[in-house]
Amino acid sequence: MNSFSRDEIEQAYRHFVAVGDSQDWDAWADLHSEDGVWIEHHLGTIRGREAIRETIKKTMAAAPPMEFPVEWHVIEGHRVVFYPWQVFPDPRGGAEIYRFGCVTVLEYAGEGLWSLQEDLYNPREGEAVVKRWLAAGGKLPGAAASEGGS
């Protein structure tokens, strides 16, 4: 196994989070090694950077607007484990909280790239939060276009 400095891994992790926060999913996919693996238990195991790109773009195009504030992170060896909340803005403009937790595991491959990402969360909790958010007036992408019918 290659040895990378903690500072290099920390910088790569902070960049990964910043790119995710920007929601530039092409740039996010580019942070995975060409043979990278993304284990997303609800979607399955996605192998290869281009498959990761295709999956994240399709998934996020259908998702509500979200933010991903990180509560904590730990670096051990070449692995980073962190807890990003999946947060939906209050559709009424108030202070109601619509979020569910996630644990993400990353394995650093060097040169700012990640060879493995695993996202662990409870899909039922996520679905319940989205349903509550929709009931409060949240709209999914494309919902406005489909509401008028044809």
Question: Which CATH number does the domain housing residue 105 bear?
Answer: 3.10.450.50
| Position 144 in a domain | no
Instruction: Say if CB 117 and CB 97 are below 8 A apart.
Output: no
| Total domains, the chain | 1
Residue % of the chain over a pLDDT of 70: 93
| Position 57 in a domain | yes
| Position 105 in a domain | yes
Q: Which whole number is the average pLDDT over 66-77?
A: 97
Q: What is the pLDDT of residues 12-63, one digit of tens each?
A: 999 999 999 999 999 999 999 999 999 998 899 999 999 999 999 999 999 8
| Position 21 in a domain | yes
Q: What letters, b where the CB count within 10 A reaches 16 and e where it falls short, cover 24-50?
A: ebeebbebbbeebbbebeeeeebeebe
Model confidence band, residue 146 (pLDDT cutoffs 50, 70, 90): very low
Return the bridge partners of 38, or none: 46, 117
Segment among 2-16, 76-90, 135-149 with least mean pLDDT: 135-149
Residue 143: what pLDDT? 61
Residue 1: what pLDDT? 55
Domain range for 117: 6-137
Segment among 1-5, 58-62, 66-70, 101-105 with least mean pLDDT: 1-5
Residue 145: what pLDDT? 45
Q: What is the pLDDT of residues 90-142, one digit of tens each?
A: 999 999 999 999 999 999 999 999 999 999 999 999 999 999 999 999 999 87
